[in-house]
Structure 1
Amino acid sequence: MTNLPKIGKPATNALNTINITTLEQVAQLDEHNLAKLHGMGPKAIGILKEALLEQGLSFSQLDEDLKNVKFTVLGDLKCDNAPKRRIIRDIVIASIVGDEKCLTEWLTDDLV
């Protein structure tokens, strides 16, 4: 695993907040959503892009359909410790991908 380059404390903190500590993990992110993180500026993104290229890596390519989404879901999608958080995560993802079965399962008339 390749360590992150020096990108400044605010950008490093932004990545640490979402548990990103290596370039390989950065390569799983897309540049569009990475830029939405508080503390992540164009200079840090440029440094990360250059470091990725040096390792033969690149940012993930954002699906064109998702570019119009006005929000970003960040977090550990593998975390299953909090059932309510998991339910909210699943509803948000189902909304984005259009999974009507999941939505009708959770979004009932008695939802509070």
Structure 2
Amino acid sequence: MAKVVDAARVTTPSNTVWRTCIGCSQTKPLTADIDRCDDCEDAADEEALREHALSGWEHVSRYAGAIGRIEAWALLIPNVTDAERIASIREVLATLNAGDDKAVS
């Protein structure tokens, strides 16, 4: 008599083995070089994309503050010499390049 396991072997491609997915802990046919099923892989990709997007917004916030300070010194603050403007703009750029973990505002 045929068993369920034999039927499952027939329906899977020859290079797959039923293994446990490390994401959802369910047994699924996975090739030797893959540890996650398609559903878990998509979820992991979405999480990585979300983290990347958050990182991007952190950079936007950081550079927006610096650009605002530069614009203020370059255009909006009256009665300042060009040398003072350039020195202040250089100071903003130096703090911007000082490190990625520091916010500039």
Q: TM-score range by the shorter chain?
A: under 0.3
Query: What is the TM-score normalised by the length of structure 1?
Result: 0.23
Between the two structures, name the one with larger relative contact order (CA 8 Å, sep ≥ 6).
Answer: 1
- Which structure shows the higher helix fraction? 2
- Which structure shows the higher strand fraction? 2
